[in-house]
Structure 1
Amino acid sequence: MSEIIIGNLLSPAVLFFLLGIIAAICKSDLKFPKGISEALSIYLLLAIGIKGGIELSKYSIEEVFVPIIGVLFLGFSIPIFTLLILRFIKLDLENSIGLAATYGSVSIVTYGAAVSFLDKIGTPYEGFMNALVALMESPAILLSLILLKVLEKNKQLAGISPSQSMGIISSSPWIDKEVIKESLFGKSILLLIGSLLIGLVLGEGAIPMVKPLFIDLYGSVLILFLLNMGLIAGERIPEVKKYGVKLLLFGLLSPLLFGSLGVLVGTYIDLSLGGATLMGVLAGSASYIAAPAALKTSVPNANPSIYLGLALGVTFPFNLIVGIPIYFEMAKFMQ
């Protein structure tokens, strides 16, 4: 287990993220042109979506229908739970949405570490779990952006600024066509879901064409993206101080809460011990790839130091060190 922890914490992606933070703290003149920064986000959303769609195409709907329902439940419920929790620590709307999308989505690296953990102890799991990883990337991001549009609209109608309240206070309809349109057809969700559907339709036949760009180069582009996110996060670290302890506790306790929910759902839908463990990992992890790529363009006022700093600096190492074994023991106890 120690090899998994060290290997992931010392991965190039994480180290380049830290390099970006150091560069920002040291007032380096290192900057990413806006166009390149935007291109990196678009690339990652397309790559994640199309790879997930291809993986999902390998299974029949009968095999994955119930697990998909379980994943969608987690993907839509965790952002709502996150917003309710953050209401009590009075975090502003944009950053609350950022954390809702981040913690409702998943960490592919944490999932990979969990798979290695199960392989090492000889515990099998369902093959379609790999497809569910990509499927769970989108719901939380979509719901979070919809909630942002709804809450902003209702607060504007009520004459209250977004940072003063997070409740739905308007007497107007809770949601309208414009909110749905802006949320579903914003570039982040459009690219992520659209590319997933394309991958699903084309299946493995698309691999020869997409492999050179979206598979072979994925890790290298991810390094550039996280270096840029490190620069952004480092510039905004001082903004985190006013929330320090509360956010730290959220980053440590929310994985246990959401991971327990994931294990419970996995057990309820009759997944194996390994499958239920991985469902817990999906629910308990936090995205530092897909969600930040979407948030950077859709919620630019959200502070990357908060949503990316918590995901990478607190929840990620917590899950690698103690979270994965805890989810496994929970699944074993429930079964």
Structure 2
Amino acid sequence: MNEILSLAGANLISPIILSFALGLAAALARSDLTIPEAVAKGMSIYLLFAIGFKGGVAVSAHGVDTTLILTIIAGLGLSFGLPLIAFALLKLMTGLSRIDAAAVAAHYGSISIVTFVAGTSVLEGRLIEAEGYMVAVAAAMEAPAILSALWLVARGGDGGKMEPGLIRELLLNGSIVLLVGAFFIGAVTGEKGLEEISSFIVAPFKGVLCLFLLDMGLIAGRGLRQSRGVLGLGAVSFAILMPLISATIGLTLGVLIGLSLGGTVLLMVLSASASYIAVPAAMRVALPEANPSIYLTLSLGVTFPFNLTLGIPLYLAIAQIVTGG
């Protein structure tokens, strides 16, 4: 317990977390602080390219093996399966309609790439190495959860639109294309390519991440303000309980596959994170009847800050105990 509290305390006073807290506090206080949309999008592009490129370089050094293939299969299984668990919990803990519960469940099967990046930064700060191909796992876990949500709705006879272009739109989602594309560039160019642009994607990385999380804090704070009275205690409790359950499943799979301590932690982080970019965009098309103030507030306003402040240190501490790392 002392180790967990120590990790959480160290994480809470990091520039990354404090930047998010500043944005959250500013939004709740109704400050006019804003990050221009074009700047925020530019930072998002930068972070996705940097993390994808570095992951590709790591794979080029590591090579493709059975562990990589098993981890990607595990990621796909998690993305398909976690929404089913989330949906069951939501029906048990809340009074949400089937459509709203399915829409929320989709978010908890997909992933938050920013949470993944924050987890990577925590590991780097503690000099813990992780398998570079976890970036590929993150990309694989983006879309399957949406299909599970649509199945849950269709099973209840409520419809749910499987638009002809939805699958194509998911696969060609900008964040996935950029992440996977940068990953392949890094894999092809290897260490030599990293040396050529290291001053661009290594040194500025954490500074850009701080500003990006400042913007995320602003968005989360505004969402919490606007959704006041919409969410009950059961829904908020779910948004904290579900990441813990998902992380436990990720831990079990990581150990069974034989991932390193760092790789196991990142699989836990991916499992525990909740999408707030790709899935909301898909839900607007596939389940327009679902209430965005519910699914966005739970994923971005509750689960995201929980994972940043307490979740990641907790997952690391538990993984260290289990793996002996």
Q: Give your verdict on TM over 0.5.
A: yes
Q: Secondary structure at the match of 2:45?
A: helix
Q: Distance in 1 between matches of 2:125 and 2:204?
A: 23
What is the deviation of 1:74?
Answer: 3.4
* CA distance 1:167–1:263, change in 2 (3 Å): same
* CA distance 1:191–1:68, change in 2 (3 Å): same
Q: Does 1:313 align with 2:287?
A: no
Match in the other structure for 2:116: 107
Q: Distance in 2 between matches of 1:144 and 1:186?
A: 15
Q: Which amino acid aligns with 1:16?
A: S
Match in the other structure for 2:217: 230
Q: Which amino acid aligns with 1:268?
A: L
In the alignment, structure 2 segments of 5+ residues that lack a partner are 285-291
Q: Does 1:50 align with 2:53?
A: yes
Aligned match for 1:264, one of 238, 252, 264: 252
Aligned match for 1:73, one of 74, 77, 80: 77
What is the deviation of 1:187?
Answer: 1.3
Q: Secondary structure at the match of 1:243?
A: coil
CA contact (8 A) 2:243 2:271 kept: yes
Q: Secondary structure at the match of 2:53?
A: helix
Q: Which amino acid aligns with 1:70?
A: A
What is the deviation of 1:265?
Answer: 1.9
Identity %: 25
Match in the other structure for 1:9: 12
TM-score (norm 2): 0.75
Aligned match for 2:173, one of 186, 192, 205: 186
Structure 2 matches for 1:236-315, cutoff 5 A? 236-238=223-225, 239=227, 241-270=229-258, 274=261, 278=265, 281-282=268-269, 285-286=272-273, 291-292=275-276, 294=278, 305-315=297-307
Structure 2 matches for 1:98-247, cutoff 5 A? 98-102=107-111, 107-110=116-119, 113=122, 129-144=130-145, 151=150, 166-167=153-154, 178-238=165-225, 239=227, 241-247=229-235
Q: Distance in 2 between matches of 1:13 and 1:132?
A: 24
Higher mean C-alpha deviation, range 34-43 or range 66-75: 66-75
Q: Secondary structure at the match of 2:65?
A: helix
CA contact (8 A) 1:106 1:285 kept: no
What is the deviation of 1:44?
Answer: 1.8
CA contact (8 A) 1:94 1:299 kept: yes
What is the deviation of 1:329?
Answer: 4.5
Q: Which amino acid aligns with 2:299?
A: Y
Higher mean C-alpha deviation, range 108-117 or range 12-21: 108-117
Match in the other structure for 1:122: none
TM-score (norm 1): 0.73
Cα RMSD over matched residues?
Answer: 3.8
Q: Which amino acid aligns with 2:240?
A: L
Match in the other structure for 2:289: none
Higher mean C-alpha deviation, range 88-97 or range 247-256: 88-97
CA contact (8 A) 2:79 2:110 kept: no
Q: Deviations over 1:167-208 (max 9, x none)?
A: 456799996752221111121211122211221222212112
CA contact (8 A) 1:258 1:284 kept: yes
Q: Deviations over 1:111-159 (max 9, x none)?
A: 665688897xxxxxxx6x43143233222223245667xx4xx9xxxxx
Q: Distance in 1 between matches of 2:7 and 2:200?
A: 28
Q: Secondary structure at the match of 1:30?
A: coil
In the alignment, structure 1 segments of 5+ residues that lack a partner are 120-126, 155-164
Higher mean C-alpha deviation, range 20-29 or range 55-64: 55-64
Q: Deviations over 1:281-325 (max 9, x none)?
A: 3455426xxx55656877785765432333343234443564444
What is the deviation of 1:42?
Answer: 1.8
* CA distance 1:39–1:322, change in 2 (3 Å): closer
